[in-house]
Chain A
Amino acid sequence: MSFNNLDTLYRQVIMDHYKNPRNKGKLEGDHITVELNNPTCGDRIDLQLKINDGIVEDAKFEGEGCSISMSSASMMTQVIIGKNAEDALKISKMFSDMMLGEEADTSEYKLEDLGDIQALQGVSKFPARIKCATLAWKAMEQGVEKEE
C-alpha cells in the first residue's frame, strides 16, 4: 500500500496555502459579495471583491472545504489583486483550461507568471477534484460580472 500519485495532487505549496490561507477574512467598506457552494460535496466560499475603475483593488474570502478548494481560493485572491477585472477573467479562463487539460492561451500571461496556481496543475489528473479547484474562480467570475 503506497500513495503512488498523491504527491502530484498534494504539493507542498498547496498544503501551505491550505494551512496558511492568504486573504482570508472579511473586507471593510463597499464591496461585492458572491457566495457559491458545491452542492454535491458541501464546499462553500464567500468571496468579497473591491473593484474600482475596473481594477481589483482587494479580495478576501471565507469558507469551508477541502485542501484543494481552499488553497485554490487563497492562490486566486493572490493572483487577481491589483489586476484589472478583464485580465482576472482571462487568467480564470487559463486556469479552467489548465484544469481540463486543454492548451491554455498564453499570449498575454504565462503560467509561470501566475505564481503558486501552477501547483494546482496536478488536479487535472483527478477529475473528481476539478470542481474543488475551480469553485473560487467561478465565484470571482460572477463577482466581476456583477460589477459590470
Chain B
Amino acid sequence: MLNEDVRKQFPILDQEVNEHSLVYLDSAATSQKPQSVINAVNEYYERYNSNVHRGVHTLGSRATDGYEGAREKVKHFINANSIKEVVFVRGTTTAINTVAHSYGRENLSEGDEIVLTKMEHHSNIIPWQQVAKVTGATLKYLPLQEDGTISLEDVKETVTSKTKIVAMSQVSNVLGTINPIKEVAQIAHDNGAVIVVDAAQSVPHMSVDVQDLDVDFFAFSGHKMCGPTGIGVLYGKQSLLENMEPVEFGGEMIDFVGLYDSTWKELPWKFEGGTPIIAGAIGLGAAIDFLQDVGMEAIEAHEQELANYALEQMQTIEGITIYGPKERAGLVTFNLDDVHPHDTATALDALGIAVRAGHHCAQPLMKELQVAATARASFYLYNSKQDVDKLVEGLRKTKEYFGDVF
C-alpha cells in the first residue's frame, strides 16, 4: 500500500465536511489535485501567462515551452510514437466527438457498422448515434455477460467486414470491468475496422502503452488523473490523423489563409483551433510528473488492494447488491435494499463521505442492470483502508437509519 505521505500532498483532503473528516470516494467523477499541480497552474498565471506559438517575447516562449513540454510528457506517459499523435482537447468527450465528426463522417456510409458495448459512458455512445444519423451507418451493441464483462467470442461474432469502427471503454466507470483492449483491437484490425478507446477511467489508474495495445484512437481527461479540468488528450495514429479534417477552424490551426480557401498547420496543431488550454496542459504535465514519481504500478497495486478490501468488507453488509465482475478496477457500484441511492449518498455525506449516486452517465447500462440509479464509491492513490472502513460503517448506519424510519 502507498503510505500516508501521498495523501498529505492533497490539501483538499485535510478538512472536515459536516463535522467529519472528509472521506473522498468520488475520484471516478473527478480526482483531487496535489499541491504540485496547483502550484504549476498558479506559477503559470503568476509568472509567465502568455499566448503560445506566436510573438517573440520571453514570456511567450516560456508559455510555449510549458505547453509543448506537457505534450512531450503525455507522449512518454502513454508511449505514443510522436508528439504529432498527441492532440490537446477539452476532455474525453471532445476527443471522441472529434474522431466521430472527422474520421466518422469521412469514412462511414450506409450499410457500415459501428460496434459498441452496453457499458459505455454516454460520451462514447451519443457521438456515434449522431454520426450514424448523418451517414446512414448502424450501431451494434456487444452483449454483456452476467458478471458485467464482454466475451471475445461475441466480439469475433459481432465485428465483421461491415464494421468500420469499434468504440469501447478500457475500464467501465460503473462496473469497473477492465476490457481486453489489445485483443479487441486485433479483431477490429483483422476486419479492417479501427478501434476508438475511451480511456478516461484507465489512464489515471494503470500504465498504458498505446503502441502495445495497437489502438487507433485513445481518449482521456486530465481532471481524472490529478490534473485540472478542461484539458484532455486525443491520441491518434499519425497515419489516421494525417488524413483527417479538423473539426474546429480559426486561429492557431492554420498555415495559409486566403479569401476563399485556407490550409492547415501540421499535426497535432491542425486539431487545436483557437488559443489552447495552456494552463490546463501545464497542470496536466505536472500531474503526469506526480503520478510517475509515485509510480503507476504502485498506484495500480494500491487501488487493487483497496478494491479487493472494499468488496470483501461491503459484502458483509446484509441487503447490499454489488454490480460488476470480481476482477475490477478501483471502484465499487452498489445499492442497499430499500434505500434509494440518493438517500444513501445524502446519508453518507452527512458523515463526511463523498460518493456518487445516479446513473453515472450510463443510462443504457442502468437499463441493462434493471435499476434506475446506483451508488458508487471510487478509489484513488490517496485513499486508505480506513476510508473503506468508514464507508462500510457509514453504510451500516445508513441501513439502520432508514430501517428505523420505515
Contact = CB atoms under 8 A, between A and B. Distances in A.
Contact of A1 (B341, B342, B373, B397): B397
Nearest to A70: B340
B359 interface: yes
A42 B358 contact: yes
Chain B interface secondary structure, helix, strand, loop or mixed? helix
- A-B pairs with the 4 shortest C-beta distances? A66-B342, A66-B340, A42-B359, A41-B358
Interface residues of B, number: 26
Interface stretch (B131-139, B182-190, B277-285, B344-352): B344-352
A41 B406 contact: no
Contacts of A6: 346-347, 350, 401
A3 B359 contact: no
A129 interface: yes
A43 B350 contact: no
A1 B359 contact: no
B366 A42 contact: yes
Contacts of B406: 15, 19
Contacts of A43: 342, 372-373
Given A12-B405, A42-B359, A44-B372, A129 B394 contact: no
A84 to B, nearest CB: 33
Interface of B: 18-20, 340-343, 346-347, 350-351, 357-359, 363, 366, 372-373, 390, 393-394, 397, 401-402, 405-406
Interface string A14-51: 01000100000000000000000000111110000000
A87 to B, nearest CB: 30
A24 B141 CA distance: 35
Contact of A41 (B19, B359, B401): B359
Given A1-B351, A9-B346, A10-B405, A41 B373 contact: yes
Contact of B346 (A15, A19, A40, A126): A126
Interface in A47-69: 64-68
A67 B341 CA distance: 10
A5 interface: yes
Interface residues of A, number: 24
B403 to A, nearest CB: 11
A4 B373 contact: no
Contact of A15 (B350, B393, B405): B405
B18 A4 contact: yes
A120 interface: no
Contact of A5 (B350, B366, B372): B350
Contacts of A41: 342, 357-359, 373
Given A4-B18, A6-B350, A44-B372, 12 more contacts: A1-B390, A4-B350, A12-B405, A19-B406, A41-B359, A42-B366, A42-B373, A43-B342, A66-B343, A68-B343, A129-B346, A132-B342
Contacts of A4: 18-19, 350
B405 A1 contact: no
Contacts of B20: 1
B376 to A, nearest CB: 13
Contacts of B359: 41-42
Contact of B342 (A15, A44, A68): A68
A42 B346 contact: no
Given A65-B372, A66-B340, A129-B342, A40 B401 contact: no
